[in-house]
Amino acid sequence: MSDDTMPAAFLGHGSPMNALERNRYTEAWRALGSSMSPPRAILAVSAHWYVHLTAVTAMARPRTIHDFYGFPDELFAVDYPAPGDPGLADEVVELVAPTWVGLDHDSWGIDHGTWSVLMHAFPDADVPVVQLSVNAGQPLEFHLELGAKLAPLRRRGVLIVASGNVVHNLRRIDWGQPGGGFDWARRFDDAARRVMTTSPGDVVSLRDHADFHRAVPTPEHFIPLLYLAGLADAAGSTADILVDGYTYGSLSMTAYTLDARCPEPPGTDLGAGVEVDAAPLPGPDRIPADDTNT
Range name among 76-85, 231-240, 275-284, 285-294 with the lowest pLDDT average = 285-294
Residue 68: pLDDT band by 50, 70, 90 thresholds? confident
What is the 8-class DSSP label of residue 282?
P
Given this model, what pLDDT does residue 101 score? 97
Given this model, what pLDDT does residue 263 score? 62
Relative to beta strand 246-247, strand 251-252 is antiparallel
Helices (DSSP H) in 97-135: which residue ranges?
112-121
Q: Which residue type does 276 have?
A: V
Residue 294: pLDDT band by 50, 70, 90 thresholds? very low
Q: Per-domain residue ranges for the chain?
A: 8-293
Residue 12: beta bridge partners?
164
Residue 233: pLDDT band by 50, 70, 90 thresholds? very high
- Considering the domain 8-293 in this protein, what is its CATH number? 3.40.830.10
pLDDT in tens, 3-46: 689 999 999 999 999 999 999 999 999 999 999 999 999 999 99
